[in-house]
């Protein structure tokens, strides 16, 4: 393996996911290619009195089947999603073949915006109704964001960096980017990165509703997420996890494992503008994409596909379009662009990892997913948003954007591996 840090290259060798479109990488990608929408009425709680009554829920996930009754009872659903996705990713890259000594130099960085918020809400209710003595002794590790990477580290003996990142909706993109930096510049040969979120519960839905962030198209959930259209009126909540194995190229080649693509560039920035609203001109998004391009040593016209943050909110879609046009110039109109959130919803802290998975698989298959519900284009947003349907084109490079409350911005660029 290369010890010259300036020459080390980072590749993705394992992917696992639990999300509203499927409980595996294969099943999820098949549904994305079919243009399936997972948006439907909420089943987790009684939505009476809520302005929004739909979301994109994970389906047919049985934590007892994955972890046994004891661990299922002692872990929040967000931990279970991240843990299960990690198991798929690590099996995908034949991690069992890596010896114990090497595992001591492997680490894990996982992003989540809110951690075990479901357990927090339940425990507050128990405390208020039954008293402090009835709060579970497992409550604290159930709600801590770092319990997700901790579980992965414990199961696989990863003794390197063990970190949780919370940058709102940019969390999992930052986590993959920082894990890639650990491989490239920190000398680690293998890192696990990604993100998880599960916030479809009464208080969080009410909070997002009352700040005007969620779509209220209760009459037609599958049409509610409408990125880049004139009628967009808010995002649709999703949930789940996507985890990836990031590996130094020579290490991966020596093991003979499948390589999905190279993590060629990573950028991150702050708007320094507003606690929830994005910079009106998209300057933070611009800086994030610009940094990712510089680190990848690519020019804008070399990007073939952008999986946008594309939330279906008035401010985000407008600023992201402005940022792309400012950075890409005339190339912006020649670059395939789409948002896949109308299919899987907005996974918040888990969004970026799922969308980077989609970008990698799009590059691998030469397939640009459609932006569903692109029926009434916003005349001020004039890029090619792939609204007419999916396309088959050659994709050598793909970009994925994530932007979060607090002014957090993160961008990843994938590239086909060239020797």
* Residues catalogued as catalytic: 169, 309, 346
Spatial CB neighbours of 197, under 8 Å, sequence gap ≥ 6? 78, 81, 112, 113, 114, 171, 239, 240, 241, 347, 348, 349, 350, 351
Q: What distance in Å separates the CA atoms of residue 200 and residue 77, rounded to the nearest whole number?
A: 11
3-state secondary structure of 371: coil
Spatial CB neighbours of 415, under 8 Å, sequence gap ≥ 6? 261, 262, 264, 296, 298, 363, 396, 397, 398
What is the Rg, in whole angstroms, of the alpha carbon atoms belonging to the chain?
20
The number of angstroms, rounded, from the C-alpha of 132 to the middle of its chain's C-alpha atoms is 36
Q: What distance in Å separates the CA atoms of residue 393 and residue 71, rounded to the nearest whole number?
A: 45
Q: Which of 83, 133, 88 is nearest to 112 (CA)?
A: 83
DSSP string covering 24-66: SHHHHHHHHHHT----EE--SS--TT-S--EEB---S--HHHH
CA dihedral defined by 99, 101, 105, 106, rounded to 10 degrees?
30
3-state secondary structure of 10: strand
């Amino acid at each position: 393996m290369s010890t010259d840090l300036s020459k080390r290259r980072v590749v993705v060798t394992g992917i696992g996911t639990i999300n509203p479109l499927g409980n595996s990488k294969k099943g999820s990608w098949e549904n994305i290619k079919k243009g399936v929408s997972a948006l439907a009425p909420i089943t987790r709680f009684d939505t009476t009195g809520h302005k929004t009554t739909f979301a994109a829920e994970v389906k047919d996930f049985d934590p007892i089947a994955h972890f046994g009754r004891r661990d299922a009872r002692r872990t929040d659903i967000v931990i279970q999603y991240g843990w299960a996705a990690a198991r798929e990713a690590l099996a995908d890259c034949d991690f069992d073949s890596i010896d114990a000594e090497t595992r001591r130099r492997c680490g894990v960085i996982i992003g989540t915006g809110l951690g075990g918020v479901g357990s927090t809400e339940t425990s507050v209710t128990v405390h208020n109704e039954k008293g402090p003595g009835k709060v579970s002794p497992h409550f604290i590790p159930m709600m801590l964001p770092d319990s997700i990477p901790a579980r992965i580290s414990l199961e696989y003996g990863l003794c390197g960096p063990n970190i949780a990142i919370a940058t709102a909706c940019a969390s999992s993109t930052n986590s993959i980017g920082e894990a890639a930096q650990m491989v490239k510049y920190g000398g680690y040969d293998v890192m696990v990165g990604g993100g998880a979120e599960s916030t479809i519960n009464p208080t969080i839905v009410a909070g997002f509703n009352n700040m005007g962030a969620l779509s209220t198209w209760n009459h037609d959930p599958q049409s509610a997420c409408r990125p880049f259209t004139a009628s967009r009126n808010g995002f649709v909540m999703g949930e789940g996890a996507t985890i990836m194995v990031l590996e130094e190229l020579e290490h991966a080649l020596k093991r003979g494992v499948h390589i999905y693509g190279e993590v060629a560039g990573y950028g991150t920035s702050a708007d320094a503008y507003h606690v929830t609203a994005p910079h009106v001109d998209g300057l933070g998004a611009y800086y994030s994409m610009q940094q990712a391009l510089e680190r990848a040593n690519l020019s804008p016209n070399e990007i073939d596909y952008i999986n946008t943050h594309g939330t279906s909110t008035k401010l985000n879609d407008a600023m992201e379009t402005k940022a792309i046009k400012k950075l890409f110039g005339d190339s912006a109109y020649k670059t395939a662009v789409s948002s896949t959130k109308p299919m899987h919803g907005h996974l918040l802290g888990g969004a970026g990892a799922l969308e980077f998975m989609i970008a990698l698989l799009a590059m691998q298959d030469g397939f640009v997913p459609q932006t569903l519900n692109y029926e009434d284009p916003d005349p001020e947003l004039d890029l090619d948003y792939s609204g007419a349907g999916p396309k088959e084109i050659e994709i050598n490079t793909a970009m994925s954007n994530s932007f979060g409350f607090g002014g957090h911005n993160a961008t990843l660029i994938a590239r086909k591996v060239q020797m």
